[in-house]
Amino acid sequence: MSGTLNEYAAIVGEDVIGHLRQLARGLEGCKVVHVNSTREGGGVAEILHWLVPLKRELGLDASWEVIMGDEPFFHCTKSFHNALQGQSVSIPESLLRGYEDCNRKNAEHLREQLESADFVVIHDPQPAPLLNFCPNRKGKWIWRCHVDVSRPYRPVWKYLREHVQGYDASIWSLAEFAQPMPHPIYLIPPSIDPLSEKNRELPQFEVEAVRSQFGLDPQRPMIVQISRFDRFKDPVGVIRAYKLARKFTPLQLVLAGGGATDDPEGAKVYAEVREASDNDSDIHVLLLPNDAHRTVNALQRLTDIAVQKSVREGFGLTVTEAMWKGRAVIGGDTGGIRLQVINHHTGFLVNTPEGAALRIRYLLKHRDQLEMMGRKARQFVLENFLLTRYLREYLTLMLAVVHQTMDRIEL
Ligand code: UDP
């Protein structure tokens, strides 16, 4: 937990915080349990780290549980992730049974807590079957999907749909992702915590220390992509863009990533990235520990342009983080990146390494444009993607789920 509500007031204004308190009064004392499959790494864990303590501060009895899984379980759920984002993957029956069994085992020690909760929020497919293993549930169960499901591989989605259709509601990041469901669907794009170690202001000496730590040249422009080593983030495409742009302008590239504990493919992609980087001493491939938040923060401040050249992206918190630091973003024209990178205003949307290279060259040549886009980017995040907006929407949704059949809801 990085800040209290009063500290956020200094950034977003007192009114916004007052509004949150007013909404939360209708939910005081409610027991809310969030469940996902990793405590560190990736956007979901990032959000739960602040969401749960802030709900507590608002008077809700909120907690966060992480399910355990073995290697085949995470292999299976990674295949779900790939399939939901459009890859045609066939998942053997044995892995699917293992996935269900693993949830059954987790339900054994979570059951009491989950069945007695007023709200259970299940994040992504990993813990989705828990619902079926809690037959005496008393509260409302909400499935929160963080993945880009705009064009899922149908056979896998059909299987997962069986596990999620029984929920009382579902939340999706974007309208394009929301799949038809027999329950109410809510759209809530994610957001960031401006006071976290990842996003707060840093003293200049600390930023410079990170520059020296990784041997980055202060004289030459730099582009940075922070991401798990995942093919959907297209790190190899970023290297191609860098190589194309560097023919015309001096440049350094930082590709920094760590591994989420629920992502077994990372090592393979990391090896591909190393190979593509061809021992170029201006390509810095950094494997960061999961808690290197201040390092990520500093890299996002050191860069001239932030890159997030994903080919699929649920939302792209790294985009929000860089924009909050006043950086224009060159982002893949996909998923949640489109919600944040407003073409020609907060950055550029691109579809190919060639397109990315062209925009890199353009922005490095037109520094005034680069700065203006950076200013707009920060303002855009202030207005749309800070945690207070997210919290407001969550509280409103919870009230709506509780009162859905009532004609009048008194707040
Ligand atoms: N992240 C990090 N260290 C890394 C790579 C990523 O702390 O080495 C963080 C990143 O700053 C962001 C989150 O992990 O907060 C990634 O979220 P995003 O939505 O961009 O992608 P996801 O990993 O959820 O697909």
Q: Indicate which residue's Cα is closest to atom 17 of ligand 1.
A: 43
**Which domains, ranges and CATH numbers included, belong to the chain?**
5-191+386-402 (3.40.50.2000), 204-384 (3.40.50.2000)
Structure tokens at 15: 């009114």
For all residues of the chain together, what is the average pLDDT?
94
State in Å: Cα 313 to ligand 1 middle.
Answer: 11
Q: Which of 2, 38, 40, 46 to mutate to test the pocket of ligand 1 (most atoms within 8 A of CB)?
A: 46
Q: Is 304 helix (H, G, I), strand (E, B) or coil?
A: coil
228 CA → ligand 1 middle, Å: 6
Residue 316 or residue 410, greater confidence: 316
pLDDT digits (tens, 9 = 90+) for 146-190: 998 999 999 999 999 999 999 999 999 999 999 999 999 999 999
Alpha carbons 167 and 122: distance in angstroms, whole number: 10
Cα separation, 345 vs 61, in Å, equals 41
Q: Which amino acid is at 76?
A: C
**Which residues have any ligand 1 atom within 6 Å of their CB?**
42-43, 46, 198, 226-228, 256-258, 288, 293, 296, 315-318, 321
* Amino acid 263: pLDDT: 73
Q: From the alpha carbon of 288, which atom of ligand 1 is closest?
A: 8
Band of residue 410 on the pLDDT scale cut at 50, 70, 90: low
For 277, 309, 343, 375, the CA distances from 346, given in Å and listed in that order, are: 29, 15, 7, 8
pLDDT at 405: 65
Token code pair at residue 80:
């779900």
Candidate from 2, 80, 148, 228 with most ligand 1 atoms within 8 A of CB, to mutate: 228
Q: What is the pLDDT of residues 94-152, one digit of tens each?
A: 999 999 999 999 999 999 999 999 999 999 999 999 999 999 999 999 999 999 899 99
What is the amino acid identity at position 401? V
> CA–CA separation, 326 vs 118, rounded Å?
40
CA nearest to 73, candidates 64, 65, 81, 84:
81
Q: What is the pTM for the complete model shown?
A: 0.89
CA separation for the pair 99, 79 (Å, rounded): 11
Percent of all residues in the chain with a pLDDT value above 70, rounded to a whole number: 97
Per-residue pLDDT tens over the stretch 337-349: 999 999 999 999 9
Indicate which atom in ligand 1 lies nearest the CA of residue 313: 25
Q: Among 80, 84, 317, which is best to mutate for testing ligand 1, by the most ligand atoms less than 8 A from CB?
A: 317
1 pLDDT higher than 60: no
CA dist., res. 323 & res. 336, Å (int): 14
The two most distant CA atoms of the chain are separated, in Å, by 66
Which ligand 1 atom lies nearest to the CA of residue 228?
5
Distance of CA 10 to the CA centre of its chain: 25
For residue 316, how far is its CA from the centre of ligand 1 (angstroms)? 8
The minimum-distance atom of ligand 1 relative to the CA of 308 is 20
Cα-to-centroid distance, 233 and ligand 1 (Å): 11
Average pLDDT rounded to a whole number, residues 271-294: 94
